[in-house]
Amino acid sequence: MAIIFKMGAQSKSAEEWKIFKCKMNRRSGACDEMQIGFAAPDTADSLNVGDAFEMIEDGTRRFAGTIAKLPRKYSGKYERAELVAKNPWSDLESIVFQQDWMKSDGVELSTIKRSKVVLGQSADGQKIGVGGQLREILEYAILCGANISIGEISLDAPMLLDEAKDLSCSEAIARVLKWAPDNIIYFDYSAQGAPSINIKRRGALAAKTLATNSGQIRDVSITPREDLRISGVSVKYETENTAEDNTWLDVVEDKYPVDFNSTSKNALVMSVELAGSKAFCQSHKIVCETIQPNSVSWWRKRVPVLKENEGFSIVSSGRDDSSLPRELVSGSISSRMNFKTETDRVYATIRYIDENGSISTREIAVRLVATNASTGTYDIWTASQYAEPIPQGLAKAIYDAANQLLFDGQIKVEGGKSEDFMGFSVNVQSEENPDWASMNSAVVSCEEDVFKSMLKIKFGPPKHLYPDNIAELFRISRPRKVPQDAGSRSSGKVGSSRVQLDGLAPDTNGAQGDSKYSRMVIEGDIETHGSIDLNSDSLSTEEKIAIREILLCKDGKLAKAKVLMTDPVFLEDGQ
């Protein structure tokens, strides 16, 4: 037996390292550890916590990890140096799992990492099962520097969306595996490179059979766990939906076996809350009126200067862009109201007399929203969050995982190696206990004394992961938190900000063209002042009043001035 230990940059045999003790402890879903003791403490002086550690036996790597602790022990005049190495599961314990979430700055979406995670959901918002979620966690850990590779992940049970914050990758894996409790996690160190992590269902493990009379087995302790068998699984999905101020509860039961009565003993009954739908109602109250460009009263309402003018008439009128019959006077029309809307410009040429008698011809126009809608109140429902879909087959998956009779126990095997049993299930041939031959109980941990070639394997439900009594099994879904904004992960929109308003609002922006006066009366305070009356009717068609320069006498001297006057016309005789 040639054992080589690589520690840091040094690779030496066990003898050269002066190692007198070497124990390996491997556990499903926890850190594999190796403890070694140095007979000469100074040989450990050159080692540091964090150094790479490998154990190679007869050319096969049996353990790989990093040095986690270097304890020193004193007993009287003796000093011992020890070393504890941990496998890369410790990396999973030291990396906080984060997911990519979309973040919106109002214009563009960008990706950010958040330690608030929604398990059971992919980055694009789709539901994923246990296997998919485990891969995402492991890939993230590798990306963050975990020294592992992904081996075989052969379980793909459905799971529910589960929101959590600030989980380490190992905690996230454990949380996901609650939905597949019959799992086994183990590392394979034999290949070069990073150790590979494997996660399998108990039923998928190859079986190894040990015979009590082989002379290899020292101690056997096996307990059938009838107490952990369940009679059936009933998953009651409760969905609380909200629409405006109304909230109602939907309950859908998924049970397995189909004829199972959830009121029976050892029935695993779970009430699972699903994220419900949330919808908001927008009531759009709109007022519409018929567009009448030829109507004096219609224009009078829209052009303030004409409001109280009784003496105007419409010379011509028209519309620019639309033939829709009505205009939106108040409210807004959303695109989801299924009405047509168009912005339009209605124009007219009017002739009117203002309050002081000026007669003007003027282009007026009003910009408005034309529509085929009618006055009324219209409700539009907007979903701010869609209901979490009910997973298929969860009751069966849990039933399959928890229905089998489990055998809980341990065996001491002389000359056994941990890798021969980790990732396997065991059967024990015993004349006294024939049931053991087909128990297929998964190995959950191995404690190996390498130098003494003694292996203690434990099988059955892993106590550090699996409920040790039926009551704990009922609590699978208790720590689960229903995500309230799972949709925001891929959209960048939080639920409360998803009420979207669109559509056209009324636009009564009246535009008035230039006035074309035919008579202008300038008038101030008529009690104290006169007025200026410029009436084009007093001119013939050839006449035009303009500012002209004339010569005149000012204070007896010649002067010039500019006056508003017609072009002088010579008088003929008799005029």
Which stretches of the chain bind other proteins, using CB under 8 A?
A: 550-559
Residue 198, strand partner residues: 186
Cβ nearer to other proteins, comparing 405 with 546: 546
59/556 with CB nearer other proteins: 556
Shortest Å distance, C-beta 561 to other proteins: 8
Which CB atom, from 527 or from 549, has the smaller least distance to other proteins?
549
d(C-alpha 132, C-alpha 64), whole Å = 26
**Of the candidates 324, 309, 304, the residue with the CA atom closest to the CA atom of residue 366:** 304
In the block, residue with structure tokens 């029935």: 267
State in angstroms the smallest separation of the CB of 294 from other proteins.
50
DSSP state of 320: S
Give 271 or 566: the residue with its C-beta nearer to other proteins: 566
- CA dist 391 to 276, 373, 475, Å? 14, 43, 18
The three-state (H, E, C) secondary structure of 192-250, written as one string: CCCCEEEEEEHHHCEEEEEECCCCCEEEEEEEEEHHHCCCEEEEEEEEEEEECCEEEEE
Rounded to a whole number of angstroms, the CA Rg of the chain reads 45
End-to-end alpha carbon distance in the chain: 146
User: CB of residue 568 vs other proteins: minimum separation in angstroms?
Assistant: 11
> What is the crossing angle of helices 130-143 and 169-177, to 10°?
170
Q: Which is nearer to other proteins, 251 or 553 (CB)?
A: 553
Nearest approach, Cβ of residue 545 and other proteins (Å): 16
Residue 524: CB minimum distance to other proteins, A: 24
For the CB of residue 565, give the shortest distance to other proteins in the complex, in Å: 10
Query: Which CB atom, from 258 or from 564, has the smaller least distance to other proteins?
Result: 564
Q: Which two tokens stand for residue 48?
A: 């540091």
Shortest Å, Cβ 368 to other proteins: 54
Here the contacts of 69-73 (C-beta below 8 Å, separation 24 or greater) are: 70/44, 72/41
Q: For residue 423, what are the CA distances in angstroms to 65, 93, 261, 466?
A: 19, 21, 35, 17
Residue whose CB is less far from other proteins, 206 or 547: 547
Q: How far is it, in rounded angstroms, from Cα 346 to Cα 298?
A: 11
d(CA 227, CA 449): 33
Q: How far is the CB of 550 from other proteins (least distance, A)?
A: 7
* Minimum CB distance to other proteins smaller for 475 or for 554: 554
Tokens standing for residue 324? 């829709």
Closer Cβ to other proteins, 1 or 551, answer by number: 551
d(Cα 441, Cα 95) in Å, to the nearest integer? 32
Half-sphere exposure of 115 (CA within 13 A, CB side): 9
Nearer to other proteins, 58 or 555 (CB): 555
Category of 415 on φ-ψ map: left (φ > 0), alpha (ψ -120 to 50) or beta: left
Closest CA to 67 of 26, 23, 8, 9: 8
Task: For other proteins, give the closer residue by CB, 526 or 547.
Answer: 547
Pick the closer one to other proteins by CB: 106 or 556.
Answer: 556
Q: Determine the 3-state secondary structure of 180 from DSSP.
A: coil
List the structure tokens of 82.
Answer: 């020890």
| Least distance between other proteins and beta carbon 298 (Å) | 50
* Owner of token pair 């949709």: 487
CB of 573 to other proteins, least distance (A): 14
Tokens matching residue 101: 């979430």
CB of 351 to other proteins, least distance (A): 36
Measured distance CA(456)–CA(478) in Å, rounded: 34
